[in-house]
């Protein structure tokens, strides 16, 4: 009887303790489920609000439809569940206040913020605080659950002393649970280390990108594809003449910086960015803040598919354009120097032919004087021979025109004029030079023989430059033949 009573008492105590343990465990699980629901609702709320803040697209709000009331309702339910735990109750109360304040802050952001990564970042920080508090409560409740489960397990182990077979089973289950716990702890530790490494890699990459951005080697801008410039380094601000206050005030826009004649090219660039995600470098101009223009080389790329933001790289071409202008000026001066040198060469050559030129000019002048005297004699005759006088005057006219042609050719060669192409007969141009040098050749005992091809077409050339070349060749030939001495001086 005593054994039966003891057995009954132990059985009743076992049943009562088992029911109490089951109640506590079930209560902890309800708390964990409530925390999981609250965490899921907060994640959905963050997703819809962040999507709306980044794009201002109401579709994000319709897609999720998470109400603020559901968050508050779950927070209140959590407070009721943990009312028996002072620490968890305090945490639940603080969590409820934080949720209420965060929802109010998000509502203010939704009312006042435009499409801004900064607004979304502020919201994410608020949500991170809520998640942190939830994680603390989850960890605490899991700890309590583990303790209650451990006490229940210990109670079961004490009870299994009465049942030998149950002891073996409980020990095996305990060993399996311990192994699983160790595996889970190892998995979590590895996951945590991996997350830490990923965060470290991201931070290192961000540092490298920021270092490039702040190096100010070239201008770097972050923009929206429609034209608004969101961020820029000091190098770009120096190129366009704006300051960071203008940038922060939103006064930098691609359309305002681009002259009207370059906007069609910008439209093509935007189409290229939307199509392939990258714009090849091209030259354009920017309008500086003071109204002046600056030539630049610009290229860019989108941050990724489906985004509206990208990065651009801008190189100031002002030094290059200045060097090109200086190069063109130097080339112009070089050409002028060549023209001056050619003119000096012609003048020098004509100076060498002074005697020959004087002889060529004197011949028609002497003929004019002789014909004039003959004309006077024919007029003094009785009766005057008018036919002879008319013939003599014709000769005087032809000799005067001949002298004028000789002087005109000399002036053309000496004149310092820019090159000018004209249609000319190549044979006639050569004959004119030979006529000027005939006396010089005769003086040096050189005879000139010509053999021209007939029916040559006219050519487009500068007469002075062409005759300069022929004149140099004839003078060089005369000097070479004169140095030979007596003999056949023909060429």
**Which architecture characterizes domain 2-159 according to CATH?**
Up-down Bundle (1.20)
In this structure, are residues 293 and 287 in contact, taking their beta carbons and an 8 Å threshold? yes
- 266, two tokens: 């910008």
| Residues paired with 278 in a beta bridge | 301
Residue pLDDT, tens place only, 166-216: 557 668 888 898 889 888 988 998 888 888 888 877 777 777 667 777 777
Dihedral through CA 205, CA 207, CA 212, CA 213, nearest 10?
110
Q: Which fold has domain 216-316?
A: Beta-Lactamase (3.30.450)
Q: Which pLDDT tens digit goes with each residue over 353-404? A: 565 666 666 667 777 777 787 777 778 777 887 787 788 788 788 778 767 7
Domain residue extents for the chain:
2-159, 216-316, 353-413, 417-491
Give the 3-state DSSP-derived string for 185-217, with helices as H, strands as E and coil as C.
HHHHHHHHHHHHHHHHHHHHHHHHHHHHHHHCC
417-491, CATH topology level: Heat Shock Protein 90 (3.30.565)
The position carrying tokens 């010509």 is 450
Taking only the tens place, the pLDDT of each residue in 424-471 is 888 888 887 787 777 777 777 888 888 888 888 998 887 777 777 787
pLDDT for 479 equals 77
pLDDT at 166: 54
201: which 2 tokens?
């890699």
> Do 265 and 299 form a contact (C-beta atoms < 8 A)?
no
Mean pLDDT throughout 286-310? Answer: 88
pLDDT greater than 60 at residue 103: yes
Instruction: Dump pLDDT digits (tens) for 341-352.
Output: 666 665 666 665
Q: Does domain 353-413 have CATH number 1.10.357?
A: no
Please return the burial class of 451, using the count of CB atoms within 10 Å of its CB with bins 0-12, 13-18 and 19+. exposed
What pLDDT does residue 65 have? Answer: 47
Note the pLDDT of residue 341: 60
Cα of first residue to Cα of last residue in the chain, in angstroms, is: 159
Residue 423 confidence (pLDDT) above 70: yes
Residues 74 and 38 sit within 8 Å (Cβ to Cβ):
yes
CB atoms within 10 A of CB 50: 19
Question: Which phi and psi angles does 65 have, rounded to 5°?
Answer: 60, 30
**pLDDT value, residue 115:** 47
């Amino acid at each position: 009887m005593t054994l039966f009573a003891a057995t009954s008492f132990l059985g009743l105590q076992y049943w009562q303790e088992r029911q109490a343990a089951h109640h506590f465990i079930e209560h902890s699980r309800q708390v964990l489920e409530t925390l999981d629901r609250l965490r899921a609702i907060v994640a959905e709320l963050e997703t819809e609000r962040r999507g709306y803040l980044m794009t201002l697209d109401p579709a994000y709000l319709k897609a999720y439809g998470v109400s603020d009331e559901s968050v508050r309702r779950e927070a209140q339910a959590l407070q009721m569940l943990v009312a028996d735990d002072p620490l968890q109750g305090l945490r639940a109360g603080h969590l409820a206040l934080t949720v209420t304040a965060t929802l109010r802050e998000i509502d203010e952001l939704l009312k006042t913020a435009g499409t801004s990564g900064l607004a979304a970042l502020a919201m994410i920080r608020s949500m991170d605080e809520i998640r942190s508090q939830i994680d603390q409560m989850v960890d605490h409740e899991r700890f309590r659950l583990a303790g209650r489960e451990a006490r229940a397990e210990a109670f079961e182990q004490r009870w299994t002393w009465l049942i030998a077979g149950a002891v073996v089973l409980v020990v095996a289950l305990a060993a399996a649970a311990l192994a699983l716990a160790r595996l889970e702890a190892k998995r979590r530790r590895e996951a945590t280390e991996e997350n830490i490494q990923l965060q470290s890699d991201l931070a290192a990459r961000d540092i490298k990108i920021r270092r490039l951005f702040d190096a100010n080697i070239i201008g770097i801008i972050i923009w929206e594809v429609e034209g608004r410039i969101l961020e820029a380094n000091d190098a770009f601000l120096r190129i366009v003449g704006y300051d960071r206050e203008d940038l922060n005030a939103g006064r930098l826009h691609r359309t305002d910086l681009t002259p009207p004649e370059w906007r069609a090219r910008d439209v093509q660039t935007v189409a290229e960015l939307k199509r392939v995600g990258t714009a090849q470098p091209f030259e354009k101009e920017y309008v500086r803040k003071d109204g002046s223009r600056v030539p630049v080389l610009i290229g860019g790329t989108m941050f990724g598919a489906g985004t509206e933001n990208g990065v651009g790289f801008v190189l100031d071409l002002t030094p290059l354009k200045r060097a090109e202008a200086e190069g063109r000026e130097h080339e112009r001066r070089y050409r002028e120097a060549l023209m001056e040198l050619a003119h000096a060469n012609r003048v020098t050559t004509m100076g060498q032919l002074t005697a020959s030129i004087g002889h060529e000019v004197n011949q028609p002048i002497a003929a004019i004087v002789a014909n004039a005297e003959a004309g006077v004699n024919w007029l003094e005759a009785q009766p005057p021979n008018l036919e002879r006088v008319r013939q003599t005057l014709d000769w005087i006219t032809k000799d005067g025109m001949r002298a004028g042609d000789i002087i005109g050719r000399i002036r053309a060669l000496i004149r310092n004029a820019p090159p000018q192409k004209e249609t000319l007969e190549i044979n006639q141009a050569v004959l004119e030079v030979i006529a000027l040098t005939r006396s010089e050749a005769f003086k040096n005992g050189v005879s000139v023989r010509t053999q021209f091809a007939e029916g040559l077409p006219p050519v487009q050339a500068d007469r002075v430059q062409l005759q300069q070349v022929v004149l140099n060749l004839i003078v060089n030939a005369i000097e070479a033949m004169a140095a030979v001495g007596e003999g056949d001086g023909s060429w």
